[in-house]
Amino acid sequence: MYALTANIFFLVCLVQAMYFSLLKIGSVEAGYWFGSKQKIELGNTYFVISLFLITFSIIYGLVHFDDSYFFWELEVSKFFLLYILAAFWLSCLSSISTLDLSLRLLPYSLTLPLILAGIIRGNLISSDYLDTLFLIVIIIFIFFSRKISTSVNKGFGFGDIVFILALSFWFSTLALAMTVFFAALTMVVIFTIYKNQLCWTKKTRLPFGPALSFFAIIVEFSWALYPELRIV
């Protein structure tokens, strides 16, 4: 039990350190897009998400770790996969959620490294990228379709597309489809419930990043707990 506790505690500390570091990086990019004269404020969002992040880190540790080893006893490749990449995954998704909630911005300084980390992870677990290549073709078709782009660009930005592309390097087609479906369904439900109270219209830009991040983590946990669900 001591080893498992130590491993989870180390992961929590690592995730929190990465989270605030990535928030700083994302805020710098936000300053570039919004202009240096505008003050970048995240409010209390980062504190609330930080608490959720601690919970997710503990759950991740309970799902993926055991009591047979301490983290410093692992081989470098296994340590990198179980701790460094996992910490980056959780902290990056949380940072993206915080910035999208507060600023309606999905920074490329976070989504592009998420793509790179997904490629590295794929090499470590010997995955192929056939699903990702298929998704890229679909995304290119959607983005350059004139009939769709007119209505999409107002509510569904290019940052969302890059974020979904980044998730495709971490998930199979089924897992990614489930993540996007439940995230979109959640946003539709939220919009339907609160549109009159908050005077939202079809042109209102709602943050899609937090919903994507939340369900990406949930799907990852489900895949780890129930491997038989991995039908693709």
Residue 58: is it exposed, middle or buried by C-beta count within 10 angstroms (0-12/13-18/19+)?
A: middle
CA distance 113 to 120: 10
Q: How far is CA 38 from CA 27, 28, 30, 31, 108, in A?
A: 12, 12, 10, 7, 19
What mean pLDDT is predicted for residues 170-179?
85
pLDDT in tens, 107-136: 999 999 998 898 888 776 655 556 566 666
Q: Are 49 and 78 within 8 A, CB to CB?
A: no
Query: What is the band of 137 on the pLDDT scale with cuts at 50, 70, 90?
Result: low
pLDDT in tens, 66-91: 888 888 888 988 899 889 999 999 99
Q: How far is CA 105 from CA 31, 52, 84, in A?
A: 11, 20, 25
Query: What is the band of 154 on the pLDDT scale with cuts at 50, 70, 90?
Result: very low
